[in-house]
Structure 1
């Protein structure tokens, strides 16, 4: 236990050094440099930050890393709380249940209700009957059916999940077991959390257990060590709805035990939903009979997101950020992120979060250049593409819905002139062609006409931020 303020300051100095070494100078300067240690009490670290945004961001994205850095010296640390610091003074941290005190004018302490800090929702009931004080994994309250963005890649999994939840609420079993699989970050955990949320909200009496595979292993190994394995088995067999996430991490005796539990649950018509990163046949750590039982249920894949679904996700997250922080996400930025970040859904969420953070910390408007700079490590690497004037004509024609032959014609109407000028500007910016050559490719125009168009567009970009974003997006699309 590190109790003196001097020792705590020394500890904080060491923790800061570890964080800087782990995340690098730039990230440290952005997120950790302005944090201050207020208190180290029992298993709780209390830090303060100068802005609400920084409090929220650190708590949501770096809590585990900070706790881990403290545990090198203070092994009792398991929790982090970040509060707002105003005029150099941190707001008092919320008291933990064991520490809360009754108000001065309240009844005696023995009858006063403590003011407990909010805790993560855990969907699990009847656990005390097992004799082991078991608990399920924490449920992410943001992962509900309402916040799930459905599209062609995941609509079957989404529909099945809703059907399972509705059946469980009505004491029925539809498909059993249900096995959802995909690569990382495509929404498996979100669907399991959403099922637990929906059933728990509709019928609080339901005995629902959500466990990650490592949590399952931990409980089983602990039960064996305490010679209470029978109580653990009985606890699991009393559940109405069992949700197991990250099945691929289940190993050893706990995998065997899951097989026995699965068989018992299915025989008793209890609902089981499993998520993993590969089909059942590829889970070599499971017994063949278990793989066969999983394969014999409903196996639902989630495929890689297409452009439409990626854009819908980015748009939803951007709308949420706009409602919360009041910043503006131009359509060109939405399109750019959707096209450039192709790995998985978590990276799309992370991309929006980074842009929000960049806007909040630097005051820069959210633009395509800012996105390109901020999201560099999320964007797929690719060789520079040689852009042709013909590619530019096709892109501009499609984007502005102007026939290609009219871009090359002598028509002077505004709906043709502006796209033509933008196309000439892009040809000058993205190709090695000379002005006379560009003029010839645009219907035999003089090089002075091309130069006038380039300068005109450059001025329009300065005067019209939205247009600038639009043209920047066209550039990126042509370079893909």
Structure 2
């Protein structure tokens, strides 16, 4: 099957975007072996070497892959992920790569030595993870949106030898880019510096699953279990990606063993434990039994401090970078998202200045950041999704949101839902009104204007609405 050269070139850019957005570890784990097969008639066909990779990508990453691919290839209808064939027969890896809950029988062929060697190398590397040297408590910008999470993490990291474990487990939840991983890394750095005798393990949920699958292949699950028995502090990131009954049972065993023996467990996820729909109820209950802390979207003052911190870091690397205070203030007001988005905006302006040899002005900043507040793809977001997320966030049932009830506990979430529907979808006011219990379009317009006015003066509401937007965008 022939693929045009320019399509291959654009596919290379898709791979680069995936690497940049997901990070090196996730990209290497799930996308490094993906290949472009064909792109025609509104369908993108890609291939991977194993059924496990195919299933994982289709379950967790197909929407992101579609979105990033469209940015380089143009709009298309669908993505088809297939398992690559060799000589008309599925590769041996396809047969070998079984789901964790269905290990191969004893009579099955052993994995090839090269596979075992690779598994051992990856596993060994993850038992001693390389932390980002810049993600420390000293570089974490504290504001009203993350103050409690920061204080809790410092309390754990600075606990005196022999002191009782007060927050166990400690569960941090926030949207992407709000500092969860930074705080986990900061705890690991602090413990390494002040308590080198404590054994710390820092894993993502995906790496936990990869290591477990490899242990199954090598028929060495006992060694996999033993590594947790020797841990004093377990740090787990991206917990929402933990999937599969067997995987969850294995983690639950390790978790219970550590907590019951009063060793520290810190978990980070995109949503609170109650919203981890794919996680067993008993596990959710145990997670809620510790301290659960959220990180909200940064307010204006925190965004200013984040930008100032990032700018000072840039100047240390390159003193020719000069950004006026009014431009930093413009960015803080224009980009109302996460610290990662603020840093991205700063990088874009700096790069534009250097590539074009132009002074950084407000006009330049406005030009470079003109798309930073672009509306999300309304065609992908449904009003039903908004109703579900708003109801879950405010603990209000769907029937109440659609009912005539006028209690404030229902009216405010309903108005916020209408506001989000207007801002994030292409639906008309009458259509939104119909979907919100058959209301008139004037009711929707009133709700939209009221929320717009309130978020200008109510920082807490503004943060709450920004969080809901992020949750809706993440699906």
Normalised to the residue count of structure 2, the TM-score between the two structures is 0.54
Partner residue of 2:351 out of 357, 369, 374: 357
- Matched with 2:316 is 323
Give the SS at the match of 2:144. coil
Is it true that 1:227 corresponds to 2:219 in the alignment? yes
Say whether residues 1:304 and 2:297 are aligned partners: yes
Query: 1:132–1:232: 8 Å Cα contact kept in structure 2?
Result: no
Query: Which whole-Å CA distance do the structure 1 matches of 2:271 and 2:26 have between them?
Result: 27
Count of residue correspondences: 286
- Note the 1:335-354 alignment, pairs <5 A: 335-354=329-348
Residue of structure 1 equivalent to 2:265: 272
Distance of 2:373 and 2:161 partners within structure 1: 42
Which structure's CA Rg is the greater one? Answer: 1
Question: What are the superposed Cα offsets for residues 12-35 of structure 1, whole Å, 9 maximum, x if unpaired?
Answer: x97x974545549xxx9xx9xxxx
User: 1:175-324 counterparts in 2 under 5 A?
Assistant: 175-252=167-244, 253-324=246-317
Go from structure 1 to structure 2 and tell me whether the alpha carbon gap of 1:234 and 1:337 turns closer, same or farther (over 3 Å shift). same
Whose helix proportion is higher, 1 or 2? Answer: 2
**Mapping for residues 402-421 of structure 1, pairs under 5 Å:** none
Taking only aligned residues, the RMSD between alpha carbons, in angstroms, comes to: 3.6
* Counterpart in the other structure of 2:421: none
Question: 1:146 pairs with 114, 126, 138, which one?
Answer: 138
| Residue 372 (str. 1) matches residue 378 (str. 2) | no
**1:46-195 aligned within 5 A:** 72=35, 135-167=127-159, 172-195=164-187
**1:142 offset after TM fit, Å?**
1.3
Query: In the alignment, what sits opposite 1:416?
Result: none
Question: Which of structures 1 and 2 has the larger relative contact order (alpha carbons within 8 angstroms, sep 6+)?
Answer: 2
Which blocks of at least 5 consecutive residues in structure 1 are unaligned?
Answer: 1-12, 32-57, 77-127, 383-480
Contact 2:126 2:203 (C-alpha < 8 Å) held by counterparts: no
Distance 1:65 1:288, change over 3 A: closer
Paired residue secondary structure (1:167):
coil
State the 1:360 CA deviation.
2.2
SS at match of 2:292: strand
**CA shift at 1:256, angstroms?**
1.7
Counterpart selection for 2:327 from 330, 333, 337: 333
CA distance in 1, matches of 2:33, 2:243: 30
How far the C-alpha of 1:171 sits from its partner, in A, is 5.9
Deviation at 1:217, TM superposition (A): 0.7
TM-score by length of 1: 0.54
CA drift of 1:259 comes to: 1.1
- Measured after TM superposition, the shift of residue 147 of structure 1 is 0.8
Question: Against the structure 1 CA distance between its residues 133 and 157, is the aligned structure 2 distance closer, same or farther, given a 3 Å change threshold?
Answer: closer
Residue correspondence of structure 1 range 428-439 to structure 2 within 5 A? none
